């Protein structure tokens, strides 16, 4: 009886030690990738390539196999860079990029102090007044749009200008379009620069509508930027593959001094892939299936890295038994969402059975097919795949507050164990 009790204790403490080590390693990866050195892992100041070098070194430390001479699969992309001078002054207050305002990723350069034309509910809800406004030319002014109280009804605004045109084009030839928002908006990068400058400013920065606003945005279109995917594997007993993937790129900088850390999106997914690689690299016996680890670039610009890979695979896609794409897995206190779970119901039921037995996560939430992360182009080519992201109180996304220090990782190990159990107890049978 005593011996049995001791064995149970040893197993318990061993599992706790493994859990602690997993978290320690994951936090190290997330802290590194989110640090100032990598400048948001964008393409402005080589942060993306520096991150790739770091990750390739991690693959080497874990002794992952290469499909070719290198872990690196090179490709090129285009992007609009906003890492130059950036200035917005409202009522003599200089605003902080990423905190007080966000520039739309497709914006072009602008510099100067401009008079302001306000479109608020008094005009937007008045068909006659609105028609008067849209007939004028504002090539030397800024249009300030405040949609608070706006009646977005087709009967109210029936003219050739749609509401969304205000925010996505050079509306009325204005120098810039500024939208007042209730909170600072997420930054979304763009592949191509447009002939317009669009800015979203937090309402807290306005006491009254200003007569003029000073703006300086230094944008630069970058072409044929060199980047890369990173791919390694652990050889199994068969020539079929289980793939764990994540994107390592993020959204870079806004202005000269502000960068977006991207801890949850998606240093957390990279940390999960590397933690899985570490686990499988330490097994005494090889798994039945070969385990592939893919880290993609260009996701934030339109799933470019995974699209490139599926068009230029280094092993046949038909050999992939299943792919798990991990993107934003830094929380989990409310469970996980599984994209494609309504498509691949058998695999979802397997995960659910394991979770019901082990009580890893509060819930596994169903979701249908969606082109919202790097699983998509694999799925489009017939590869069975899930995209998993965690659900919880942590809400930071594409902003300057998505930092390693803020990320809870409260169900990181549980999700990792769920994935391992799926591969171990089901796919290996």
Mean pLDDT estimate for the chain: 91
Angle, CA of 55, 44 and 164, to the nearest 5°: 110
What was the pLDDT predicted at 11?
38
What was the pLDDT predicted at 165?
72
Per CATH, 24-81+222-427 and 86-218 having the same topology is answered: no
In tens, the pLDDT along 326-376 reads 999 999 999 999 999 999 999 999 999 999 999 999 999 999 999 999 999
In tens, the pLDDT along 221-262 reads 999 999 999 999 999 998 899 999 999 999 999 999 999 999
The full set of domain ranges for the chain reads: 24-81+222-427, 86-218
Q: What is the pTM of this model?
A: 0.92
Question: Is the domain 24-81+222-427 a CATH 3.40.630.10 member?
Answer: yes
Angle, CA of 37, 78 and 194, to the nearest 5°: 110
Label residue 45 by pLDDT band (50, 70, 90): confident
CA distance 296 to 249: 7
- With a pLDDT cut of 90, the percent of the chain lying above it is 81
With contact defined as beta carbons under 8 Å apart, do 48 and 74 qualify?
no
Q: How far is CA 28 from the centre of its chain?
A: 19
User: 168 or 190, which is more confident?
Assistant: 190
- Residue 321 CB coordination number (10 Å): 16
With contact defined as beta carbons under 8 Å apart, do 351 and 428 qualify?
no
The helix (run of H) or strand (run of E) holding residue 278 is helix 268-281
The arrangement of secondary structure in 86-218, i.e. its CATH architecture, is: 3-Layer(bba) Sandwich (3.50)
Percent helix / strand / coil, the chain, rounded to 5: 35, 25, 40
CA distance 295 to 273: 8
Calculate the alpha carbon distances from 283 to 18, 64, 236, 424 in Å.
13, 13, 11, 12
What was the pLDDT predicted at 342?
98
Mean pLDDT of 19-47: 90
Which distant-in-sequence residues (6+ apart) come within 8 Å of 33 by Cβ? Answer: 41, 51, 54, 248, 262, 263, 267, 270
Which distant-in-sequence residues (6+ apart) come within 8 Å of 134 by Cβ? Answer: 159, 161, 172
Nearest to 398, CA basis, from 261, 306, 285: 261
Nearest to 361, CA basis, from 342, 328, 389: 389
Label residue 157 by pLDDT band (50, 70, 90): low
With contact defined as beta carbons under 8 Å apart, do 320 and 306 qualify?
no
Let me know if 381 is exposed, middle or buried by CB neighbors in 10 A (0-12, 13-18, 19+): middle
CA distance 317 to 312: 10
In tens, the pLDDT along 287-315 reads 989 999 999 999 999 999 999 999 999 99
What was the pLDDT predicted at 160?
44
């Amino acid at each position: 009886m005593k011996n049995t009790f001791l064995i149970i204790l040893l197993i318990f403490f061993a599992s706790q030690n493994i859990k602690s080590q997993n978290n320690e390693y994951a936090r190290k990866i997330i802290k590194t990738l989110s640090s100032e050195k990598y400048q948001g892992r964008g393409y402005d100041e080589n942060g993306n390539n520096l991150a790739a070098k770091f990750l390739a070194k991690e693959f080497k430390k874990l002794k992952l196999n290469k499909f070719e001479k290198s872990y690196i699969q090179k490709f090129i992309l285009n992007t609009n860079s906003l890492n130059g001078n950036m200035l917005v002054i409202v009522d003599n207050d200089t605003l902080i990029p990423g905190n007080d305002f966000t520039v739309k990723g497709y914006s072009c350069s602008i510099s100067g102090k401009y008079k302001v034309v306000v479109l608020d509910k008094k005009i937007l809800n008045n068909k006659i007044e609105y028609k008067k406004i849209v007939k004028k030319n504002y090539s030397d002014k800024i249009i300030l749009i405040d949609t608070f109280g706006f009646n977005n009804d087709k009967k109210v605004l029936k003219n050739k200008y749609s509401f969304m045109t205000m925010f996505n084009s050079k509306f009325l030839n204005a120098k810039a379009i500024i939208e007042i928002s209730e909170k600072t908006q997420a930054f979304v990068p763009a592949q191509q620069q447009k002939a317009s400058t669009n800015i979203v400013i937090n309402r807290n920065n306005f006491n009254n509508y200003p007569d003029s606003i000073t703006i300086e945005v230094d944008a630069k279109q970058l072409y044929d930027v060199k980047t890369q995917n990173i791919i390694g594997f652990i050889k199994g007993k068969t020539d079929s593959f289980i793939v764990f993937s994540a994107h390592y790129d993020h959204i870079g900088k806004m202005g000269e001094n502000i960068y977006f850390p991207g801890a949850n999106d998606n240093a957390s997914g990279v940390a999960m892939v590397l933690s899985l690689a570490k686990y499988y690299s330490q097994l005494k016996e090889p798994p039945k299936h070969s385990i592939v680890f893919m880290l993609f670039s260009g996701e934030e610009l339109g799933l470019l890295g995974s699209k490139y890979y599926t068009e230029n695979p280094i092993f046949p896609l038909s050999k992939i038994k299943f792919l798990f794409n991990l993107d934003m897995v830094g929380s989990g206190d409310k469970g996980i969402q599984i994209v494609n779970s309504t498509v691949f119901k058998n695999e979802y039921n397997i995960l659910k059975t394991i979770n019901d037995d082990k009580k890893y996560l509060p819930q596994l939430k169903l979701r249908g097919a969606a082109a919202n992360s790097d699983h998509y182009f694999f799925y489009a080519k017939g590869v069975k795949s899930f995209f998993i992201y965690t659900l919880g109180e942590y809400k930071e996304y594409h902003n300057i507050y998505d930092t390693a220090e803020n990320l809870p990782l409260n169900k990181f190990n549980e999700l990792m164990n769920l994935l391992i159990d799926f591969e171990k107890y089901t796919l290996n049978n």
